Structure 1
């Protein structure tokens, strides 16, 4: 595990606060944790699909990608379909790369694999929810991803590079948090989260490699910029507890009450 986590800890600009870990492992928060994790897996797949459709493939391939994810989206947003049927949904067409894009095939290769793995994780989270008798409910998004993406540039190829850097940070943080909470959860759930570390670490590396290859210039300052923004989101107060949320307000209120009590 240390081999997997060492580069991620070096990449991230701050560690997850212990107060978030304390909140995440409370049994009362397990439904929120798993429901949000489920949606995060779908959004990770959707983000990768967007990159392929926007930058790498022809119209027919783009349509095939939409059809691939449609059953997952219908289940998540409309609660339509049987979740146990989702593994039957496959990508039924080879992706045709745009001929005018030198990085299309590399983007396709890495992102299609990522989508497959994220959708598999989506199904695995549903299995965990079934084991722990947690019902799926619609859940609002946290501020995290939007808080990163709002800083992306709007002109190309900088916009693509920024989105890839954001993807790297999201995957790296997910990996770090899985490792943080796994030892404190029920063994079966802890084992599941530990099993995700290797793929999440590879996803972060794939995003970063794509960003570096496409840029063909030194993007270290841009990576550092997003690292600082990501750390701000993780280390500042957050009233909405989610998988990628910041310092829980409950922990802050508790600390303030302790200080007041100590002052008397």
Structure 2
């Protein structure tokens, strides 16, 4: 990817986010001993992104038979990740085997299906690519706990519709945008193969946050653009607080690393 193309992708994302990734997090991520943690958590993030998109389709856009097909599509990935069943190499090429039937009562169902199915395909492909990177760097898969990040955003989602759906889409936009920003900033700090891989992810990942935002405005309706903008501002502040505040747990979307007492005394 040319530097001009990278700049064109990152500039609107940097404008969208309320804060940049702290240098202290980047310094922690650049430490060789943290590479395994970074890649394992990145792997889980790709699966969770696919699961979140699948949830939106199942909850808001398709009939029951289509919802079942989505579950079957993700099942081998979930079996490997959560139950450590199967060989990761067998995940190559798995795809959705059934057309999605939109709910007749939903005016935005088809657009939601089109955008989210493409997103799921790309996230699952990235999931497999992360596994390839891990294998190439001698890093085995191990279960890892979730960070506070996504939960910290979703706890502010409103509890009534369609406001809840709008908020979930906005949260999705921030998660995808932050991932892009970190891919770009991490790339020059990591081994060349991983840095190059992270740059390669930017094209699709940059589109994902835009798709989420477009759907949020569509679901809310043309008369509610100001309300959506207010919610974007609100979640931007929440997201920035999660990214910039102290965080004891180092993960792909974690906040500022806390300095251990032993490190403080040695300084």
Question: TM-score, with normalisation over the residues of structure 1?
Answer: 0.95
Counterpart selection for 2:77 from 54, 72, 75: 72
Matched, 1:250 2:255: no
Give me the whole-angstrom Cα distance separating, in 2, the residues matched to 1:253 and 1:143.
Answer: 24
Give me the whole-angstrom Cα distance separating, in 2, the residues matched to 1:253 and 1:155.
Answer: 47
Counterpart selection for 2:182 from 162, 170, 177: 177
Question: Structure 2 stretches of 5 or more lacking a match?
Answer: 1-5
User: Runs ≥4 in structure 1, deviation > 2 angstroms?
Assistant: 250-254
Give me the whole-angstrom Cα distance separating, in 2, the residues matched to 1:231 and 1:243.
Answer: 15
Instruction: Give the deviation of 1:250 after TM superposition.
Output: 2.7
Task: Give the 5 Å matches for 1:1-264.
Answer: 1-216=6-221, 217-218=224-225, 219-250=228-259
Give me the whole-angstrom Cα distance separating, in 1, the residues matched to 2:25 and 2:260.
Answer: 8
Number of equivalenced pairs: 258
Give me the whole-angstrom Cα distance separating, in 1, the residues matched to 2:192 and 2:54.
Answer: 33
Q: Quick one: structure 1 residues 224 and 251, their matched pair in 2 at CA, closer, same or farther if it must change by over 3 Å?
A: farther
Instruction: Give the deviation of 1:87 after TM superposition.
Output: 1.8
Instruction: Give the deviation of 1:76 after TM superposition.
Output: 0.1
Deviations 1:118-166 (A, max 9, x none): 0000000000000001010000000000000000001000000000000
Question: TM-score, with normalisation over the residues of structure 2?
Answer: 0.94
Instruction: Give the deviation of 1:25 after TM superposition.
Output: 1.0
Aligned CA-pair RMSD: 1.3
Give me the whole-angstrom Cα distance separating, in 1, the residues matched to 2:175 and 2:32.
Answer: 25
Deviations 1:32-62 (A, max 9, x none): 0000000000000000000000000000000
Deviations 1:146-204 (A, max 9, x none): 00000000100000000000000000000000001101111111000000111111000
Q: Quick one: structure 1 residues 102 and 21, their matched pair in 2 at CA, closer, same or farther if it must change by over 3 Å?
A: same
Deviations 1:63-111 (A, max 9, x none): 0000000000000001101100102321000000000000000000000
Give me the whole-angstrom Cα distance separating, in 2, the residues matched to 1:214 and 1:81.
Answer: 39
* Aligned residues of 1:14 and 1:231 also touching (Cα < 8 A): yes
SS at match of 2:112: helix
Question: Structure 1 stretches of 5 or more lacking a match?
Answer: none
Give me the whole-angstrom Cα distance separating, in 2, the residues matched to 1:192 and 1:199.
Answer: 12
SS at match of 2:259: helix
